[in-house]
Amino acid sequence: MKKQRALVLVHSTLVPPESLVGLSEKEIDEWRTEYDVITHLKAAGHEVLPLGMSDSLSELRRAIIDWKPDIVFNLLEEFDGIVTYDQHVVAFLELMRQPYTGCNPRGMLLSRDKVLSKQLLSYHRIPTPQFRVFPRGRKPRIPKKLNYPLFVKSSTEDASLGIAHASVVADEKQLAERIAFIHEQTHSDALVEEYIEGRELYVGVIGNDRLKVLPVWEMRFGSLPESLPAIATRKVKWDRRYQAKYGITTAAAANLPEGTMARLEQLSKRIYRALHLTGYARMDFRLRPDGALYVLEANANPNISMAEDFSQSALTAGMRYRDVLNRILQLGTNYPAAWRGVES
């Protein structure tokens, strides 16, 4: 691929240092994705400028005007501490007629809002757990007849924020408590779903029009005690010591029931299109013991650090890390934003 001038947009606290010497794994984990992307883009011969961003668009505008990047590599996951605001930064890039990597603003808006995406998926008859929303700022009116266990989460947060074993609730009292917890801790509406017992599967997709579905990945809960629900809590996802203690790993999904792989592939493409995703994304699924599949959410711009599921799954499909990054750059360059072809 032609060498690109890539402005790598990261959160201001996550601008990685040049070298890892003397740093602990824990310190590196904070900005590992940013480090991996920047070092590998450089190694592939691209010209790279990292830009840290927190609560202002001025520096971004300045860098676009002065440095004239071919592309902005978007690694932002929030703006000014608000997780759903990264979509507005992407919208700003479009207004500036600046090509960028990853998902477009519409896809980000639809996929970040779990309630909105579930409504859209139901319209398309894509199986997602039954749900109710308990809006923040209103006293929850809990119906008497609900089928427990239920799962309580934030309607907009990601990275398992607010997700713990207590997210699985067995009665009205626990439900009310957890709804209040979500309202208070995440300042968002509480999404209450039927609890889907089963295996946890992830499917990566890359593309704008023509989609490539990556091999199905699975989170294995190791020796987590039977008494605890097998779910990806904050600790399960991010705490290395906890993962090592219980042997929690992710790997290519093996021994899936017949036909499941094909269904996952087909569903993932349909979800990607229904939510107007572009660039790259990862779908989270649960597979029940009776073979029923449910999508939990679609993640636009998922984690692409080298050792994470998305890149590892791509590697299994024969795409090296450098190929993944180049493909992402290429898709960003080719994305048919509305401004293209319209004279400014």
Ligand X SMILES: Nc1ncnc2c1ncn2[C@@H]1O[C@H](COP(=O)(O)OP(=O)(O)O)[C@@H](O)[C@H]1O
Shortest distance in whole angstroms from residue 33 CB to ligand X: 16
List the one residue from 159, 164, 252, 261 that touches ligand X (CB under 6 A).
159
Query: Binding partner of residue 200 among ligand X, Mg ion, none, CB under 5 to 8 Å per kind?
Result: ligand X
Type of residue found at 209: D
Site string for ligand X, 285-304 (x = CB under 6 A): -x---------xx-------
- Phi, psi dihedrals of residue 47, rounded to the nearest 5°: -90, 125
Please, what is the minimum distance in Å from the beta carbon of residue 4 to ligand X?
Answer: 30
Stretch that binds ligand X, among 1-9, 40-48, 93-101, 153-161 (CB under 6 A): 153-161
Which tokens hold the place of 343?
A: 């004279």
Q: Contact with ligand X (CB under 6 A): which of 31, 73, 195, 280?
A: 195
Indicate the residue among 40 and 178 with the shorter CB distance to Mg ion: 178
Q: Give, for 7, the enclosing helix (H) or strand (E).
A: strand 5-11
Q: Which is nearer to ligand X, 51 or 216 (CB)?
A: 216
Q: Give 168's contacts (C-beta < 8 A, 6+ positions apart).
A: 149, 150, 151, 195, 229, 231
Report what 118 binds from Mg ion, ligand X, none; CB cut-off 5-8 Å by kind: none
Smallest gap, in angstroms, from Cβ of residue 284 to Mg ion?
A: 4
* Closer of 78 and 284 to Mg ion (Cβ): 284
CA distance linking residue 326 with residue 44, whole number of Å: 9
Residue 193 makes contact with ligand X by CB under 6 A: yes
Nearer to Mg ion, 281 or 337 (CB): 281
CA distance 211 to 125: 20
Structure tokens at 127: 């199986």
Does 77 sit near Mg ion (CB under 5 A)?
A: no
Binders in 51-80 for ligand X, by CB under 6 A: none
Classified as helix, coil or strand, 294 is strand
Contact set for ligand X, span 226-265 (CB under 6 A): 231-232
Could you write out the DSSP letters of every residue in 17-72? PS--TT--HHHHHHTHHHHHHHHHHHHTT-EEEEEEESS-SHHHHHHHHHH--SEE
For the CB of residue 1, give the shortest distance to ligand X in the complex, in Å.
Answer: 31
Q: Does 284 sit near Mg ion (CB under 5 A)?
A: yes
- Choosing from 52, 127, 129, 222, the residue that interacts with ligand X (CB under 6 A) is 129
Pairing of β 212-213 and β 71-74? unpaired
Would you give the distance in Å from CA 215 to the centre of its chain?
17
Q: Which amino acid is at 276?
A: H
In single-letter form, the type of residue at position 332 comes to: G
d(CA 205, CA 215): 9
| 324 is a site residue for ligand X (CB under 6 A) | no
The answer to whether 298 and 283 have CB atoms below 8 angstroms apart is yes
Query: Closest CB to Mg ion among 233 and 278?
Result: 233
Question: Residues in the site for ligand X, rule: CB under 6 A?
Answer: 129, 151, 153, 158-160, 163, 193, 195-196, 200, 231-232, 284, 286, 296-297
